[in-house]
Structure 1
């Protein structure tokens, strides 16, 4: 039977017409979707730029309802909830993203990181730790480790903090050896409180090895040697401190005074204090020299010597305390006023956040920064 080409010729225009109609229907549907979904999205963006967060959230929720598969809208919505402190809603958004089976691995890692931040901001440290641990081996690994380090520092879990700091030190561009040394000092303090002086000594020696220029391990080591009846070893540690971190020696001034109660150590301790004061005069070293000077007249001369080098209200107040100013009653009034004025000047101030304290901190209780407290008093920092 012969094939009839007439049907083929008739089929071409029919197929073309059907294809054209189908394309018009698809284009029309696409235009409708583009008019609907982005409209809510851009409205939300406009609200966000105008800092109208409530209206922005409503607009983004509408956009997500119109297109629930849009992950970027979920992330934007979750971040908005977190910024507003609505952590429970932020968690729900990010957990919904995690439950989607069609989510690509990079987006899943991003959602896991966002979920961890939700828990961290909400103060749910256990859940935040578990969520951050799941980011090992992802592109968010370093950020997760830094967050874990913050969690362990806040909870004073120094063993896990050491583990994370060691990983960061081996992979990061920065050095975390200083922090590891501080963690070892914290562990040494805990061991000493538990009566394990040998472990404390081992931790401090390791801290000195990790960060030889850090002041804290040497000061803590000197304290431990002095407690164990080894004053010469304590002095050797402080002599090393005077070479590697001389600005921190005033923090050990009271310890040096205590060591000088041993007559065999008195002369070398005074010599160390005098040589250091000649290079870097400070209120604490001046006080130590006054306390160790057995001659009251020459002891008071240290205040005058300090005033010749620095305009110090603290030194002036100490000198006035030993002078006769008219009647005894007037002297007490003047001294009380001076003591009140010098009290704020004797504080330490964090260089990172400005938190002030009467004692020196290695770890700022305000901003959690390490080594942010200078070893000098406020008066010496801002003369």
Structure 2
């Protein structure tokens, strides 16, 4: 009984101690909150409003007041880099690395940031030197990603292939990128007429990604250059199985091959079949030219009219007007000429290739988007867009 009474007396003491501890913790939290410099909140508010100049100034002031605060200095460095103040970012990160107060586990993080500073400043060699030293540390993945960007920028496709293969994971296989790197190498060998080497590289690309359209295009070019016309046709026709949207890029090659075999009518029939099956392909202009040459203007106009009615486009209408100019009166021809010139002007402005990832638009086609860096993201057929 005496022991139970003692326990009853101790319970209020335990509750009192818990209440006192909570009060002490709350006071500590409130004290720390009040100790945060007002410049930090001013900088945060400026970042929300996208006023990076004010934010950089405010955070720099806080950094001077706080002394060695690695997280804050890293944020400030990123802000300098975003604003294009690369020299300030480089100096900041170099000072951090020279400081003995910087924890060992954060040194690789700072080195990675410094590499990004050098890249942004155009000092790619210095960035690569730092990144190669990070491959055995805790920033391996981030370093490899930066190195892959550098090798693509420098068009060092062999190193890009090695780095991409090392980056492979369940989340990202890099098969599209690696296949494109092999195609870049193959294209170079093709330009140098080194057909055996180009063929080997195309085979590597196909092995990595059997649906690589570019590899089929290059393989067809190799076969055509070596005089193997039927093999070239087979390579280009394989694109229909890989991704039919790219058939428009092989269309003129296919016709040239059939023309080389002295079978232009078969080439025209193939292109007409593609246009009927895949009306979104950009074939109207090419078909008009070939039909005009081999079957006459009247037949070319008939097919162009059918195509435009099925899928109206500015370039299609331009061709229709052009084809009927000779049948008009002098006054009507002048009016048609004005309409044709206007349509041509707007078609040149609106008919573009577009990146599916970042919506970058260009009149030229790219395998590698110059804006966002994605591969195989450009639409092979131009679209009329505002």
Task: Quote the Cα distance in structure 1 between the aligned partners of 2:377 and 2:131.
Answer: 27
TM-score (norm 1): 0.81
Alignment-derived partner of residue 337 in structure 2: 332
Alignment-derived partner of residue 11 in structure 1: none
The question of whether the paired residues in 1 share the 8 Å contact of 2:258 and 2:267 is answered with yes
Alignment-derived partner of residue 303 in structure 1: 304
Task: Quote the Cα distance in structure 2 between the aligned partners of 1:158 and 1:108.
Answer: 30
Alignment-derived partner of residue 58 in structure 1: 61
Task: Quote the Cα distance in structure 1 between the aligned partners of 2:161 and 2:41.
Answer: 46
The question of whether the paired residues in 2 share the 8 Å contact of 1:257 and 1:291 is answered with no
Task: Quote the Cα distance in structure 1 between the aligned partners of 2:192 and 2:33.
Answer: 64
Offset of residue 38 of structure 1: 8.5
Task: Quote the Cα distance in structure 2 between the aligned partners of 1:310 and 1:340.
Answer: 20
Alignment-derived partner of residue 45 in structure 1: 40
Structure 1 pair 192–104 and aligned structure 2 pair: CA distance change class (3 A): same
Question: Gaps spanning 5+ residues in structure 1: where?
Answer: 1-30
Question: Gaps spanning 5+ residues in structure 2: where?
Answer: 1-27, 47-53
Alignment-derived partner of residue 344 in structure 1: 349
Cα-to-partner distance string for 1:332-378 (whole Å, 9 max, x where unaligned): 33322222232234422222333332221111223322112111111
- Secondary structure of the 2:204 match is helix
Alignment-derived partner of residue 288 in structure 2: 290
| Cα RMSD, aligned residues only | 2.7
Alignment-derived partner of residue 124 in structure 2: 125
Structure 1 pair 103–263 and aligned structure 2 pair: CA distance change class (3 A): same
> When the two structures are aligned, how many residues end up with a matched partner?
343
The question of whether the paired residues in 2 share the 8 Å contact of 1:223 and 1:234 is answered with yes
Larger Rg: 1
Offset of residue 304 of structure 1: 1.4
Offset of residue 104 of structure 1: 4.0
Deviates most, 43-52 or 222-231:
43-52
Alignment-derived partner of residue 277 in structure 1: 275
Alignment-derived partner of residue 260 in structure 1: 258
**Residue 315 (structure 2) pairs with residue 314 (structure 1):** yes
Alignment-derived partner of residue 24 in structure 1: none
Structure 1 pair 333–91 and aligned structure 2 pair: CA distance change class (3 A): closer
The question of whether the paired residues in 1 share the 8 Å contact of 2:318 and 2:340 is answered with yes
**Mapping of residues 1-383 of structure 1, within 5 Å:** 39=35, 42-51=37-46, 52-53=54-55, 54-64=57-67, 68=68, 70-101=69-100, 103-169=102-168, 171=169, 173-282=171-280, 284-293=282-291, 294-296=294-296, 297-323=298-324, 324-327=327-330, 328-379=333-384
Offset of residue 50 of structure 1: 2.3
Offset of residue 100 of structure 1: 4.2
Offset of residue 235 of structure 1: 0.7
TM-score (norm 2): 0.80
The question of whether the paired residues in 1 share the 8 Å contact of 2:160 and 2:181 is answered with yes
